[in-house]
Amino acid sequence: MTYYADLSAYDYTELEDDGEPHLNIGWLAAPHPFPTGPLKDEAIERLAILRANPVNQFRGSHPCDFCVAEFREQGLISGPALFTALRDAGALGNGEIVIEGPRGWYHAPVLITHYVERHGYLPPADFVDAVMTAS
């Protein structure tokens, strides 16, 4: 998957210029470090709801780099076994979560929920606040 630093300018897909900032959140990839820490269960539940209704869906899917490395260490090098392990781990994504927040519009891959739950990723506080108030 493509890596973008949190709160950097979003440019993964073309957007119409609406005069608002569009920012990246949770576009993680090896070997880039990322902040970790606990996230309240309510925020994780809200992320899961948002993940169920993605926008900017793409053909195919993007795997979690961290899980790919982990599964390869377990001997699942490629093919159907690796795909099945990634699917079962919720480690495949094909869309985005887009919500409005205090700094503008936040764009996160649907894998953000997986990153939080499985890898301990801690998104920026402004994004978490926006998740809690998103409708």
pLDDT of residue 56: 84
Q: Answer yes or no: is 88 within a domain.
A: no
Task: Give the C-alpha distances (Å, rounded to integers) separating 76 from 68, 86, 118.
Answer: 9, 10, 19
Task: Decide if 1 is inside a domain.
Answer: no
- pLDDT band at 81, cuts 50/70/90? confident
Given a cut of 90, whether residue 7 has pLDDT beyond it is yes
Structurally, the chain folds into a number of domains equal to 1
59 or 38, which is more confident? Answer: 38
Question: Residue 2: inside a domain, yes or no?
Answer: no
Alpha carbon distance 116, 121 (integer Å): 4
- What pTM was computed for the model? 0.91
Residues 128/43, Cβ–Cβ less than 8 Å = yes
With respect to residue 115, please indicate whether it lies within any of the assigned structural domains.
Answer: yes
Asked if residue 7 belongs to a domain, the reply is no
Instruction: Please check whether residue 110 lies inside any domain of the structure.
Output: yes
Q: Quote the domain boundaries for residue 29.
A: 22-59+94-133
Within a domain: residue 124?
A: yes
Query: 1 pLDDT band (50/70/90 cuts)?
Result: low
| Mean pLDDT value across residues 92-100 | 94
Residue 116 forms part of a structural domain: yes
3-state secondary structure of 125: helix
- Residue of 21 and 60 predicted with greater confidence: 21
